[in-house]
Amino acid sequence: MENDLVLRVVGKLLIPFILLFALYVQFHGDFGPGGGFQAGTISAAAIVFYALIFGLDKARRIMPDRLVEAMLASGVLIYAGVGVAGLLLGGNYLDYFVLDKDAVHGQHRGIFWVEVGVHITVCGVMLKIFYMFASRGQDGEE
Amino acid sequence: MSSLSAHLPALQVVLPLLSAPFAVLLRHGGFAFGIVTAGAWAAFACAIGLWLQTGEAGIISYHIGSWPPPWGIEYRVDRLASFVLLLVSGTAAIVLPYSRASIEHEIPRELHYLYYAMFGLCLAGLLGITITGDAFNVFVFLEISSLSTYVLIALGRDRRALAASYRYLIMGTIGATFFVIGIGFLYLMTGTLNIVDLGERLRTVEDSRPVLAALAFITVGVSLKLALFPLHQWLPNAYTYAPSAVTAFLAATATKVSVYVLIRFWFSVFGETLIFEKLPLPQILLLLSLAAMFAASFIAIFQDNLKRLFAYSSVGQIGYITLGMSFDSVNGLGAAILHLFNHGITKAAIFLLIGGVVLGLAKNSAVPNSRGVPAGAVPPAPTFDRLAGLAKRMPLTCFGIVLAGLSLIGVPGTAGFVSKWYLILAAMEAGQFWIVAAILLSSLLAIAYVWRFVEVAYFKPAPEGTTKQEAPLGLLIPAWLLVIGTIWFGLDTSFTVGTATEAALQLVKAGR
């Protein structure tokens, strides 16, 4: 689809807004529907959209496989790291109350980082699955 | 920072869980091995600490996120949980060092770090199932451990490993779905997910139809995962084609943790009155257990592949565990818990030793080149025609398999004898002497299949030009640690029998 001018222009226009919308869903998750999981899929959708229009190779250049794999792992680490931070600050595992002097503020801070972790991992998983399906027969596998 | 010992329940799961993403980030087999092994050893240390704590303080309750139960997720360690935690983390701590030498020939090198990551996740999942006091959390950890198990099995060199893994995926997913449907019904009726809270609130509604449906779904779902006799179809192939280290780890832990889930839901949630007095469940379980003990052991005798033989033997041995559960007595349940542990270490020892045999066969059959075993070559299966005179080639390995085989049969002086002894005591206490006879008769079948190995390995002449070629020490030492364990727990029973009895007492007291 690389030669389709309309798609290319519209795609380039839309992708920043898709990413922005992902951030909106991410941060509005505290007050309405949304959160890290949904936001992660939306931002992965932006990359998938890019790959559909400009080709898998170009998408892999901006989001290399190594980066995607690192995203998978680091999201989980951020999530678990929030739990460990609670431990280190004298609370139980995943205790958000101790993350700030003000307990309610601590809860906000805790869930914020947890959702960041969820976003990164979900986005990574979506891209990994997409890459694996899209590259079948290209990488010399079967 | 508050004292470490108060946070052991969280660390028990978090440390192996953290090791997995680190292994992925490092992207290097050696580093991944180091960090996952460290995680497993730390988990083992936590399990020992928890076992000591439950010995003094009884039940430990840990509130995740400082939300008190039943609102928050509670980690709850009683005697039974700490016993299973010891088995799971101990096996992982022994199998992981073994993996280093073993997967070198079974898994392409660029996938090693993923193997260790999956192993860490699987371990975290199994430990999580055991330690959590929240019914939905059990499901989450069940999925974590199951999904990583499917990957671990599919890593086997043989192409049939993929099919075996897929079959297990289908069966396991059905089991997990049934389980979560059951939990949904329970939540519908009680409005709580905390296991202790569920147990208390169910008393008022236990005769209602949704609760019975929940019981049915959970029992069938978990029975699929623990490979209760007619639902065991996924197990033989999965054990046969998985990499050796994976087979050993799964045989010792995965089905055992599922048995633990069944015990937990029957005794702590639904309660004995419902299970054993109002419903014909004990009779059904008794029949299925006997069927497993005889049919699966009988099928085992006719297997040609050594790994498959012992896989069927596992199905049979699970029959003894569920048989103990069906008696509804402290002794019966104690014997079940005891056999869960004893059979776990025995089977792990056997599969680790078979891993050495497989490696030896691969080395003998492959055309030697600079890289050892050629990539892509399927290692020859340990079928009996290839094992003739094996004792000449690998005396230590064979001797180990024979010793662990004696424990499967239940010869005095081995761990298997102790648990069968208590099982027989429980049967006599229940006044059912025909079950005693059945236990003894089915042990004869175990003699038959262990003898097949002995006959081929010791009495068939070895092929011409056989030289002594023992498995490398990296494989022998972990395997022999477990073999010594089976003998040790057969002679000194204070740890195993003591803990199992205490665990059974705690459960039976709470379930009435």
- Considering only residues 40 to 99 of chain B, which have any Cβ-Cβ distance to chain A shorter than 8 Å? 62-66
Residue A2: the pLDDT is 62
Q: What's the gap in Å between the CA of B494 and the closest CA on chain A? A: 34
pLDDT band at B137 (very low <50, low <70, confident <90, very high): very high
Q: Which of A98-112, B165-179, B253-267, B379-393 has the lowest mean pLDDT?
A: B379-393
Q: Is the pLDDT of residue B411 over 70?
A: yes
The structure's pTM equals 0.93
Residue A128: the pLDDT is 94
Which H or E element spans position B74?
A: strand B74-77
What ipTM score was computed for the predicted complex, to two decimals? 0.89
- Considering only residues 122 to 161 of chain B, which have any Cβ-Cβ distance to chain A shorter than 8 Å? none
Residue B377: the pLDDT is 60
Residue B371: the pLDDT is 45
| A&B contacts, CB < 8 Å | 59
Bin B338: left if φ > 0, else alpha if -120 < ψ < 50, else beta: alpha
Q: What's the gap in Å between the CA of A90 and the closest CA on chain B? A: 5
Task: Give DSSP secondary structure letters for B347-371.
Answer: HHHHHHHHHHHHHHHHHHHSPPBTT
Across all residues in chain B, what is the average pLDDT?
89
Q: State how far the Cα of B311 lies from the Cα of B317, in Å rounded to an integer.
A: 10
**Torsion sign across C-alpha atoms A114, A119, A122, A124:** negative
Chain B contact present for A93, CB below 8 A? yes
pLDDT band at B259 (very low <50, low <70, confident <90, very high): very high
| Average pLDDT along chain A, 142 residues, taken 10 residues at a time | 81 93 88 86 94 90 91 93 89 86 88 93 95 78 44
Extents of the domains making up chain A: 5-134
Residue B485: the pLDDT is 93
Distances (CA, A) of B24 to B17, B48, B94, B119: 12, 28, 22, 12
Q: Which of A66, A84, A97 sits opposite B66 (nearest CB)?
A: A97
Tokens of B64: 């995740």
Kindly report, residue by residue over B177-212, the tens digit of the pLDDT.
Answer: 999 999 999 999 999 999 999 988 888 887 889 999
The single-letter code of the amino acid at B314 is S
| Entry field: residues in chain A | 142
Q: State how far the Cα of B413 lies from the Cα of B422, in Å rounded to an integer.
A: 14
Q: Is the pLDDT of residue B374 over 70?
A: no
Q: What's the gap in Å between the CA of B19 and the closest CA on chain A? A: 9
| Entry field: residues in chain B | 512
Tokens of B259: 């048995």
